[in-house]
Amino acid sequence: MIVLDGVTKRFGDRTVLKGVDLAVARGEVLCLIGGSGSGKSTILRCINGLERHDAGTITVGGIRVDDQGLPAIRRRVAMVFQRFNLFPHRTVLDNVIESPVHVHREPVEQARARAIELLARVDMADHAHSLPSALSGGQQQRVGIARALALRPEAILFDEPTSALDPERVGEVLRVMRELAQDGMTMLIVTHEIDFAREVADRVAFVDQGVIAETGAAADVLTAPQQARTAQFLARVLHRNG
Ligand SMILES: Nc1ncnc2c1ncn2[C@@H]1O[C@H](COP(=O)(O)OP(=O)(O)OP(=O)(O)O)[C@@H](O)[C@H]1O
Ligand SMILES: [Mg+2]
């Protein structure tokens, strides 16, 4: 479904991705873990074309991420951000129908009906007419997920979807993500929630200094990593969380 082959990315004279090879199968949940600045967000941003990669190839559902492929990619791959990125002056419902109606020219009534369905799915139907500022972080993030689903994406990229939340709000967002995974959504998730990754991910990839340093079944990588740097990273994260 998503394939990266030798992807490199430079910012000025700094090379931040140094040949990333990664594949996510249809219906698979892959968690990306790794230290700050290792390149996790850049990988996601290159996949949906928010950043342009310098070399190597990225394909999504067989379509290459390049100037020609980009409109199709943007439709097929949705993104959920750490800071929700909702439009502050629009209601929850309007946030969810924004892209279907204004970018993809869906009829308003159709988009609205689907939005209400999606808001029910993330348990936010009662807040359809609220403004984002009236919601908790966890509620805003659930709206962010409904918005991501509005275009019927084939895959969703999550960039630390719970790390801006109060601890007591993390669970409600992870629950929605767990349900998506069970429904067979293809998901690539940057996360520091190691317990969640262990439970929900099919595979885990550890990113270090712009390369995938280790990848494997979630249970293997998280409990018995092969690489010393993976083990060091996990020890740090688990110590901090615990
Ligand atoms: N637009 C940009 N311009 C210049 N440098 C950038 C830009 N975006 C990212 N970088 C640099 O690229 C490197 C990788 O950044 P990236 O955001 O992908 O890391 P990350 O793994 O997501 O880190 P974090 O866990 O802190 O979110 C960092 O050194 C960062 O400073
Ligand atoms: Mg990041």
Which ligand 1 atom is at minimum distance from the Cα of 51?
Answer: 1
pLDDT > 70? residue 242: no
- Residue 128 three-state SS: coil
Pinpoint the alpha helices (H) of the chain: 40-47, 70-76, 92-98, 108-121, 137-149, 167-182, 194-200, 218-223, 228-241
Residues sharing a CB contact under 8 Å with residue 83, sequence separation 6 or more, in sequence order: 164
Per-residue model confidence (pLDDT) at position 43: 98
Which residues of 12-52 form beta strands (DSSP E)? 14-24, 29-34
Interatomic CA distance for residues 31 and 26, integer angstroms: 14
Ligand 2 (single-atom ion) residues, CB below 5 Å: 41
Structure tokens at 51: 């950043």
pLDDT > 70? residue 48: yes
Task: Give the pLDDT mean for 3-29.
Answer: 97
Per-residue model confidence (pLDDT) at position 104: 84
H/E segment holding residue 78: strand 77-80
pLDDT > 90? residue 240: no
Tell me, using a 6 A CB cutoff, whether residue 132 lines ligand 1.
no
Tell me, using a 6 A CB cutoff, whether residue 11 lines ligand 1.
yes
pLDDT digits (tens, 9 = 90+) for 184-228: 999 999 999 999 999 999 999 999 999 999 999 999 999 999 999
Say which range, 80-84, 177-181, 199-203, has the weakest mean pLDDT: 80-84
Per-residue model confidence (pLDDT) at position 67: 86
Structure tokens at 185: 């959504």
Q: Mutate which of 9, 14, 16 to test ligand 1's pocket (most atoms within 8 Å of Cβ)?
A: 16
